[in-house]
Amino acid sequence: MSADACWRCEQCEACLAGEYNRCAQSGSIGLASDGAFAPLVRFPAYCVVPLAEEVSDRAGALLEPLAVGLHALDRVHARAGETVVVLGFGPIGACTAEVASAMGLDVLVSEPGPERRARAEELGYAVHVPEGEKRDGHALGARANWRRRPDRVWTRAACPPRSRPRPT
């Protein structure tokens, strides 16, 4: 199984119309609660998405973060042959880079963390080390002596990993 990360009331006009993204009671796993990159996560039964037998649990776990990356790239109308800077190479940034690469985009990853940056390099991405500069993806593409000015910039780098205490 996999999960739909969006909570909803299932009773309001928006939910009954199938537009639960407009539900006033909505929230999502990873924003309104701890995220789903833990070994075990509890979520409402209505979030369950059954998977075909041939889809592994591991692949199912990646559906939502890959969909986030695809949605982001779709919203900015990214197209094959363009360049994109991904700011941050955590789970969502990594999935966004993978989707961008599969779409034929040229990807530059800007990641301050050495472990995540090394992983991006291992996967074949051009990388940039931000050194206290403002997060200006177009400018950093030029400073990194990259092939050309980026067409798109995508960030999911809100804070360093585990920089905030978890609620008790």
Tell me the pLDDT of the chain averaged across its residues. Answer: 79
Domains recognised in the chain with CATH numbers: 2-61 (no CATH), 67-155 (3.40.50.720)
Report pLDDT for 91: 87
Report pLDDT for 167: 39
Rounded mean pLDDT of 76-85? 88
Phi-psi region of 135 (alpha: psi -120 to 50; beta: other; left: phi over 0): beta
Query: Using an 8 Å Cβ cutoff, are 58 and 70 in contact?
Result: no
The string of pLDDT tens digits covering residues 100-116 is 999 999 999 989 899 99
Please give the model's pTM, rounded to 2 decimal places: 0.69
